[in-house]
Amino acid sequence: MNYWLIKSEPEMCSYADLEKSPKKTTYWDGVRNYQARNTLRDLMKKGDRCFFYHSNAEPSGIAGICEVVKEGYPDWTAFEKGHEHFDEKSDPDNPTWFMVDVKAVRPMPRLITLAELKSVKGLEKMVLLQKGSRLSVQPVTAKEWAIVCKHAGVAP
DNA sequence: GCCAACGTTGGC
DNA sequence: GCCAACGTTGGC
């Protein structure tokens, strides 16, 4: 199993919003970055776990854990004229952008803030904590996953 | 709201 | 292919 961290602005879609979605599931649309696209399209597999991270938030941090329930498929919001994520350069016959479906698994007992993560031993190399890191879909190692879960007091 | 860091675009 | 200009992300 692989582990990931996905960022969402809670104003747009918070972890609580995901839990309130039908079947606690939503499609992860709107990623318009090639590196993140490759991860969505090629690497994220059914059953993989993701930290659900609140970015641009007060405070920012990991709010919960979710699971990939549908592997990479074309992000159709890129084809919808007028849609917030419309991209005229993405051809339905050869889509540029992809998305996955994720389902809420469990909330963190409390928000694990970015400031807090920075002080946890063993997370120094975590992509999230690297200077200038802006990737909205990023890998988490099994070790990092275990450390964060232990720190948060949830089952890995 | 500020601004540093990064990604993309486009002229050459 | 280089690189300046621009747009976006996201912490603070």
| A73-95 pLDDT per residue, tens | 999 999 988 888 888 888 888 89
Decide: CB of A134 under 7 A of nucleic strand B. yes
Q: CA–C1' span, A11 to B3, in Å?
A: 22
What is the spatial distance, in angstroms and rounded to an integer, between the CA atom of A110 and the C1' atom of B4? 30
- Per cent of chain A over pLDDT 90 is 87
Contact between the CB of A132 and strand B at under 7 Å: yes
Lowest mean pLDDT among A33-37, A58-62, A88-92, A115-119: A88-92
How many angstroms separate the Cα of A65 from the Cα of each of A15, A39, A72, A90, A149? 9, 18, 19, 30, 10
Q: Give me A116's structure tokens.
A: 């807090």
Mean pLDDT computed over A64-78: 96
Q: Could you tell me the pTM of the whole model?
A: 0.94
Nucleotides of B under 7 A from a protein CB: 5-8
